[in-house]
């Protein structure tokens, strides 16, 4: 077990490079299952969720070759298995994309329901509804989702999503790319990673129009062929560094971003008194004065992203006045509140609403990363806090942030990754 030890109170200065987007990579890699030939995928983030997806694909028979740190060649032409092992699939949320990809390629899939962070109830009924509309028969039994297309191939269909779901939109895109005929996804999600998945599939020969709007049309093709593709930068990783500068103060240039994707986060930070300057594919973030209070409601893109809510909450803990957070996506995304309180934050939670009364100073404390973004928020709070913060359960953070300790250290943060001896770790578990 490892933990991060942070001596807070040091402003951040310098430049940081943003890695490829986790939530794009975990869909684009399984999408290679649909492709007949080698896909060279660049700007792949080096994070444990990606390693897990690649392990599952290898288990299915894919040939994976790491070309360098951020580039992989994926050849799925020899894939023959359609059953995903339970122990691997349960460790990540994105294993649900294997249902759409295997169903699209082979007309059948056996995949355990996905794992991932505990953010409350996380159904996949809209994914399954889409597959059913496309002619799949679905059964959930013995801990597996069994999906099989009539006559071995899905057909196009009209699918209206009852909720705006990133996962369902992407999964139906995957399944529809090789289906017979036209699929129309209505009330589709519009996140940048949806556009990225559609661009990847189109560059391999798919016929997808409208990604990034709420109606996506997919005309199924007979075959996808290999090629090269580079994944977009991670909006949430960039937003997390922006939040870190807002909390700890200083001036940081954040490189390799798409400024348009950052607008929803930039606008809120500017409202809070943070200076943000755009320059090509970089943003410079500066915070010298006090932070203003703000209200934040999370919504599907282009609204404020739920995956930035805990990190912005950490910043609001230090803002002057009372801020209100309204979580619009997940039922249980305030589990970090107890941990923040250990650091002196004043935060009250009632269902989907959190009320934060800003304090002048947070104080370092031992805290636990209760999920990926909560863990990132502990780091943001720890960087600003007076004294030592020890963040436990950092494997959650490593699911989605490449080299976070090294990147923050380069910005002047005092953060170290420490191995906890087994005995000490057991004694700390309550
Ligand atoms: N929902 C349903 N039925 C479904 C699917 C979703 O009711 O079939 C509901 C969910 O319960 C939730 C809402 O719809 O209330 C949105 O869920 P969505 O399907 O969009 O979420 P997801 O695909 O499971 C992805 C990201 C999450 C991110 C959400 C929202 C991946 C692997 N995960 O999850 O990322 O919070 O979209 O943007 O892409 C993270 O990176 O920390 C993370 C949790």
Query: Could you give the CA distance from residue 388 to residue 405 in angstroms, rounded to a whole number?
Result: 15
Name the CA radius of gyration of the chain, rounded.
22
Of 117, 264, 317, 370, catalytic? 117
Q: What are the tens digits of pLDDT across the range 106-146?
A: 999 999 887 666 666 678 999 999 999 999 999 988 888 99
Residues in the chain: 430
- Atom of ligand 1 lying closest to residue 305 CA: 38
Residue 41: its H or E element: strand 35-42
pLDDT classification of 58: cutoffs 50, 70, 90: very high
Average pLDDT over residues 28-49: 97
Q: Please check the confidence at residue 430 and state whether its pLDDT lies above 80.
A: no
Query: Could you give the CA distance from residue 234 to residue 192 in angstroms, rounded to a whole number?
Result: 9
Please list, in sequence order, all residues whose beta carbon lies within 8 angstroms of the beta carbon of residue 95, skipping any fewer than 6 positions away. Answer: 53, 56, 84, 88, 89, 111, 112, 114, 115
Lowest mean pLDDT among 108-112, 241-245, 323-327, 337-341: 108-112
- Name the nearest CA neighbour of 260 among 240, 237, 233: 233
pLDDT classification of 168: cutoffs 50, 70, 90: very high
- Atom of ligand 1 lying closest to residue 22 CA: 41
Average pLDDT over residues 368-393: 97
Ligand 1, atom 5: nearest CA belongs to which residue?
124
Please indicate whether residue 167, judged by its CB atom, sits closer than 6 Å to ligand 1. yes
Please indicate whether residue 188, judged by its CB atom, sits closer than 6 Å to ligand 1. no
Q: What is the pLDDT, as a whole number, of residue 424? A: 60
Please indicate whether residue 194, judged by its CB atom, sits closer than 6 Å to ligand 1. no
Q: What is the pLDDT, as a whole number, of residue 119? A: 64
CA quadruple 280, 281, 283, 284: dihedral positive or negative?
negative
Q: What is the pLDDT, as a whole number, of residue 151? A: 86
Q: What are the tens digits of pLDDT across the range 219-271?
A: 999 999 999 999 999 999 999 999 999 999 999 999 999 999 999 999 999 99
Q: Please check the confidence at residue 423 and state whether its pLDDT lies above 90.
A: no
Query: Could you give the CA distance from residue 314 to residue 48 in angstroms, rounded to a whole number?
Result: 24
Torsions phi, psi for 96 (to 5 deg): -65, -25
334: helix, strand or coil: coil
Q: Is residue 117 flagged as an active site residue?
A: yes
Q: Please check the confidence at residue 429 and state whether its pLDDT lies above 50.
A: no
Rounded to the nearest angstrom, the gap between the alpha carbon of residue 253 and the centroid of all alpha carbons in its chain is: 22
- Name the nearest CA neighbour of 28 among 209, 224, 215, 162: 224
Per-position b or e across 129-142, b if 16+ CB within 10 A of its CB: bbbebbbbebeeee
Torsions phi, psi for 376 (to 5 deg): -60, -35
Q: Please check the confidence at residue 92 and state whether its pLDDT lies above 90.
A: no
Q: What is the pLDDT, as a whole number, of residue 422? A: 66
Give the DSSP letter of residue 295. -
358: helix, strand or coil: coil
Contact 9, 386 (CB under 8 A): yes
Choose the residue to mutate in 165, 308, 351 for probing ligand 1, maximizing ligand atoms within 8 Å of C-beta: 165
The segment with the largest mean pLDDT, out of 112-116, 382-386, 426-430, is: 382-386
Beta strand residue intervals within 144-303, DSSP E: 144-149, 158-160, 182-186, 207-209, 215-219, 224-230, 250-255, 275-279, 282-287, 296-297
Please indicate whether residue 122, judged by its CB atom, sits closer than 6 Å to ligand 1. yes
Please indicate whether residue 253, judged by its CB atom, sits closer than 6 Å to ligand 1. no
pLDDT classification of 316: cutoffs 50, 70, 90: very high
Query: Could you give the CA distance from residue 401 to residue 407 in angstroms, rounded to a whole number?
Result: 10
- Name the nearest CA neighbour of 168 among 302, 27, 306: 27
The average confidence (pLDDT) of the chain is 95
Q: What is the pLDDT, as a whole number, of residue 414? A: 98
């Amino acid at each position: 077990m490892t933990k991060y030890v942070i001596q807070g109170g040091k402003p951040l200065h310098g430049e940081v490079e943003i890695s490829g987007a986790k939530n794009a990579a975990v869909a684009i890699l399984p999408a290679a299952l649909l492709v007949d030939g080698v896909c060279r995928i660049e700007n792949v983030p080096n994070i444990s969720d990606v390693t897990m997806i690649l392990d599952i694909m290898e288990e299915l028979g894919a040939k994976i070759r790491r070309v360098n740190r951020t580039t992989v060649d994926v050849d799925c032409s020899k894939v023959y298995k359609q059953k995903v092992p339970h122990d691997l699939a349960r460790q990540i949320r994105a294993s649900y994309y294997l249902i759409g990809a295997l169903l699209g390629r082979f007309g059948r899939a056996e995949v355990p329901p996905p794992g991932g962070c505990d953010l409350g109830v996380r159904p996949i009924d809209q994914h399954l509804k889409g597959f059913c509309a496309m002619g799949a028969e679905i059964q959930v039994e013995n801990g597996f989702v069994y999906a099989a297309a009539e006559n071995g191939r899905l057909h196009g269909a009209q699918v209206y999503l009852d909720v705006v779901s990133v996962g369902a939109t992407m999964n139906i895109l995957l399944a529809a790319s090789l289906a017979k005929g036209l699929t129309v996804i209505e009330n589709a999600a519009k996140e940048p990673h949806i556009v990225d998945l559609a661009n990847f599939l189109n560059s391999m020969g798919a016929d997808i129009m409208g990604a990034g709007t709420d109606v996506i049309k997919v005309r199924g093709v007979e075959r996808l062929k290999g090629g090269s593709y580079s994944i977009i930068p991670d909006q949430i990783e960039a937003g997390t560094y922006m939040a870190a500068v807002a909390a700890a103060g200083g001036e940081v240039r954040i490189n390799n971003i798409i400024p348009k994707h950052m607008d929803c986060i930039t606008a809120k930070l500017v409202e809070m008194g943070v200076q943000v300057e755009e320059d090509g594919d970089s943003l410079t973030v500066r915070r010298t004065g006090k932070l203003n209070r703000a209200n934040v409601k999370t919504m599907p893109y282009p609204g404020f992203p739920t995956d930035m809510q805990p990190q912005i909450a950490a910043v609001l803990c230090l803002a002057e006045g009372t801020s209100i957070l309204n979580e619009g996506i997940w039922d249980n995304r305030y589990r970090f509140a107890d941990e923040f309180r250990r650091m002196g934050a004043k935060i009250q939670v009632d269902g989907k609403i959190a009320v934060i009364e800003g304090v002048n100073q947070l104080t370092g404390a031992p805290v636990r990363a209760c999920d990926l973004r909560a863990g990132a928020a502990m780091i943001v709070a720890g960087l600003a806090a007076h004294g030592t913060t020890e963040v436990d359960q950092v494997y959650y953070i490593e699911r989605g942030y490449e080299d976070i300790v090294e990147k923050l250290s380069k910005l002047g943060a005092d953060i170290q990754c420490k191995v906890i001896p087994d005995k000490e770790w057991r004694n700390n578990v309550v």
